[in-house]
Amino acid sequence: MYNQIIKKLETNSSTFKSLLDDVSDEQSKWKPSPEKWSLVEIVNHLYDEEREDFRERIMSIFEDPKKEWTPIAPAEWVTEREYAKRDYKISLNKFLEERKKSVEWLKGLTSPNWKAVYNHPKLGEMSAEMLLANWLAHDYLHIRQITFMNWTYLSHIASSTKLDYAGNW
């Protein structure tokens, strides 16, 4: 199971690149509504999650499962870290580079104890295995989000054209 998840994390790099490459500056900043995230915000969220959440926390469990985790605030980071002001292409490349580092690190582990557990003060027991599976689930949620953003942007720029021939969204 672990190798299969790690392989999917690796191949999702190509999926993200395909969905997010060749995006205009206008599209990268476009939002379907003010409360939604733009593509540049999504990409920077993925970048920070890659570095400060999943990989960091699995490492922490392996190194010292009793060590307290550094708090994270992914939703707040969008505005606090001013994701919308960042360069989209640079941000995408930074995320893809971090994913490459993550996959290399995961593939380089020797006999990791995936059952090792961190006892989170609010969420309870969290195993390295659970975090790994949720890392991939997080990818899928954002792949779905990005696909919807791409479809919504198309409907925005082709507003005089009906898209129902393609099928129901």
What mean pLDDT is predicted for residues 20-46? 97
Cα–Cα distance, 42 to 48 (Å, whole number): 10
Angle CA 64–68–71, to nearest 5: 130
- 69-88 pLDDT, tens per residue? 999 999 999 999 999 999 99
pLDDT tens digits, one per residue of 104-121: 999 999 999 999 999 999
- What pTM does this model have? 0.95
Q: Which tens digit of pLDDT belongs to each residue from 135-146?
A: 999 999 999 999
Residue 122 token pair: 């609010």
Instruction: Report the SS3 class of residue 18.
Output: helix
Contact 81, 41 (CB under 8 A): no
Locate the domains of the chain by residue range. 2-166
Q: Counting beta carbons within 10 angstroms of the beta carbon of residue 51, is it exposed (0 to 12), middle (13 to 18) or buried (19 or more)? A: middle
Topology given in CATH for the domain delimited by 2-166: Four Helix Bundle (Hemerythrin (Met), subunit A) (1.20.120)
* 77, 48 contact by CB (below 8 A): yes
